[in-house]
């Protein structure tokens, strides 16, 4: 049965350990409870915040003036598939990394490079979770959701999800409550081709080669730990929301502007990371821009700081407020804008605050 409470401190439910109280808090352990809690709040005209693992959230110090529904419905079901493809339907409240670990041990390929990412399954389509050359848009075949506008359960296929880099139809849109996600995985002991150069180097293979699922998972976890990107109570650098800024994707005009600013600042021969996008634009590295704008790892502002292991993570080692975190984020964003003319955009979802 769903558990209701009032004035629950959200800091205890976010990986940043930040955020004030929720007026109402519902622990929904089944799909029926989840839908009922959202319907009830909608009927009462109350704002709703759907909460998974709280690993991609920046919540206001003032808290949330409505109902927070914590998604806890669990279950993993193998359904049909063609050839060596297996369809796996996973309820939104399953924790993501244990699911990945299970896929690896069951010989199911497609999510092994997404090892170590915190949070729950229901959030993976929201920002098209990705890392080390994989993202969930490659394996998601459908998402079942409660549509708050239609007041009905609907199924969105991959096209309807409109996945792009760290984005989908679900991000910045509170219309859908994800109930379960179906992934198409390949039944094999071998990983998908290793696409990410740093991971390939760590594995001692060339990009495009395959390794065992376990080797891929172990190498990803090792790389992530080295960057404070695996949740670890003993590592204050992991008290973050992961990458705080997305990698900017630049038009040719913006790219020319960045080339000019890089040459002015770092000399005519200076190079910067650039990755072509299918639509002709160019992705660059937010971490590189932040570093070259003069923000070193460990840069602190009051009680918050840039991770000592990774330039892209803003951390609360303890005792900070959301206002402190936003002040640091604004300082970094303004520094990059002044140095390179590029506007960084936050990756985590802001609740009751704006950058």
Ligand X SMILES: Cc1cc2nc3c(=O)[nH]c(=O)nc-3n(C[C@H](O)[C@H](O)[C@H](O)COP(=O)(O)OP(=O)(O)OC[C@H]3O[C@@H](n4cnc5c(N)ncnc54)[C@H](O)[C@@H]3O)c2cc1C
| DSSP H or E stretch at residue 80 | none
Is 329 a binding residue for ligand X by CB under 6 A? The answer is no
What span, in angstroms and rounded, lies between the C-alpha atoms of 138 and 135?
A: 6
Which phi and psi angles does 270 have, rounded to 5°? Answer: -70, 140
Q: Compute the least distance from the CB of residue 269 to ligand X, in Å.
A: 32
Report the candidate in 141, 159, 136, 162 with the shortest Cα–Cα distance to residue 86.
Answer: 141
What span, in angstroms and rounded, lies between the C-alpha atoms of 242 and 159?
A: 27
Residues that bind ligand X (rule: CB under 6 A) add up to a total of 34
Question: How far from 215 is each of 108, 193, 197, 219, CA to CA, in Å?
Answer: 14, 13, 15, 6
Tokens of 99: 């699911």
Instruction: Give the x/- contact pattern for ligand X in 76-105, rule: CB under 6 A.
Output: ----------------x-------------
Is 57 a binding residue for ligand X by CB under 6 A? The answer is yes
Which member of 17, 91, 166, 301 is catalytic? 166
Is 72 a binding residue for ligand X by CB under 6 A? The answer is no
State which of residues 20, 21, 63, 130 lies at the interface with ligand X (CB under 6 A). Answer: 130
Q: Is 347 a catalytic residue?
A: yes
SS3 70: strand
State which of residues 21, 72, 110, 119 lies at the interface with ligand X (CB under 6 A). Answer: 119
Q: Which is nearer to ligand X, 171 or 337 (CB)?
A: 171
Which member of 243, 305, 321, 333 is catalytic? 243
Q: Is 243 a catalytic residue?
A: yes
Instruction: Give the x/- contact pattern for ligand X in 240-269, rule: CB under 6 A.
Output: xxx---------------------------
Pairing mode, strands 282-283 and 275-276: antiparallel
State which of residues 109, 161, 177, 249 lies at the interface with ligand X (CB under 6 A). Answer: 177
Q: Compute the least distance from the CB of residue 251 to ligand X, in Å.
A: 24
SS3 134: strand
Q: Compute the least distance from the CB of residue 227 to ligand X, in Å.
A: 9
Is 143 a binding residue for ligand X by CB under 6 A? The answer is no
Angle at which helices 96-106 and 213-226 pack, to 10 degrees? 150
Is 133 a binding residue for ligand X by CB under 6 A? The answer is no
Residues 6+ apart with CB under 8 A from 19: 9, 10, 11, 13, 57, 58, 59, 60, 61, 63, 64, 322, 351
Is 122 a binding residue for ligand X by CB under 6 A? The answer is yes
83: left (phi over 0), alpha (psi -120 to 50) or beta: left
What span, in angstroms and rounded, lies between the C-alpha atoms of 194 and 205?
A: 8
Query: Contacts with ligand X in 204-233 (CB under 6 A)?
Result: 229, 231
Q: Which is nearer to ligand X, 197 or 256 (CB)?
A: 197
Q: Compute the least distance from the CB of residue 191 to ligand X, in Å.
A: 17
- Part in contact with ligand X (CB under 6 A); list of ranges 20-28, 50-58, 74-82, 150-158: 50-58
Is 127 a binding residue for ligand X by CB under 6 A? The answer is yes
Q: Is 166 a catalytic residue?
A: yes
Pairing mode, strands 134-135 and 130-131: antiparallel
Active site residue ranges? 166, 243, 347
Residues interacting with ligand X, by CB under 6 A?
Answer: 15, 49-57, 71, 92, 117-120, 122-124, 126-127, 129-131, 176-178, 229, 231, 238, 240-242, 349
């Amino acid at each position: 049965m769903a558990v209701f409470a009032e004035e629950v401190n959200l800091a205890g439910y976010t990986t940043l350990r930040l955020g004030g109280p929720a007026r109402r808090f519902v622990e929904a352990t089944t799909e029926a409870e989840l839908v009922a809690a959202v319907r009830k709040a909608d009927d009462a005209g109350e704002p709703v915040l759907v909460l998974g693992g709280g690993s991609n959230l920046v919540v206001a110090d003032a808290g949330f003036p409505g109902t927070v529904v914590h998604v806890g419905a669990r279950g993993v079901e193998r359904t049909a598939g063609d050839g060596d493809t297996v369809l796996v339907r996973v309820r939104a409240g399953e924790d993501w990394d244990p699911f990945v670990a299970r896929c690896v041990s069951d010989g199911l390929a497609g999510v092994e490079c997404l090892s170590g990412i915190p949070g729950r399954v229901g959030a993976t389509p929201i920002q098209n979770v990705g890392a080390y050359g994989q993202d969930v848009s490659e394996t998601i075949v459908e998402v079942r959701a409660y549509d708050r506008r239609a007041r009905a359960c609907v199924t969105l296929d991959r096209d309807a999800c409109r996945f792009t880099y760290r984005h989908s139809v679900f991000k910045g849109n509170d219309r859908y409550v994800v109930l379960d996600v179906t992934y198409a995985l390949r039944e094999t002991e071998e990983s998908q081709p290793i696409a990410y150069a740093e991971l390939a180097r760590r594995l001692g293979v060339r990009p495009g080669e395959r390794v065992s699922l376990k080797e891929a998972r172990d190498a990803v976890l090792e790389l992530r730990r080295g960057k404070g990107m695996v949740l670890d109570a003993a590592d204050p650098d992991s008290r973050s929301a992961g990458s705080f800024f997305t990698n900017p994707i630049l038009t040719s005009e913006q790219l020319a502007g960045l080339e000019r600013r890089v040459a002015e600042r770092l000399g005519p021969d200076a190079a910067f990371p650039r990755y072509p996008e299918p639509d002709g634009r160019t992705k660059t590295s937010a971490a590189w821009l932040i570093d070259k704008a003069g923000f070193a790892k460990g840069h602190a502002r009051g009680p918050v700081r840039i991770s000592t292991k990774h330039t892209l993570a803003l951390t609360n080692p303890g005792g900070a407020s959301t206002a402190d975190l936003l002040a640091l984020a604004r300082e970094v964003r303004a520094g990059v804008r002044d140095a390179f003319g590029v506007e960084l955009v936050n990756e985590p979802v802001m609740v009751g605050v704006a950058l």
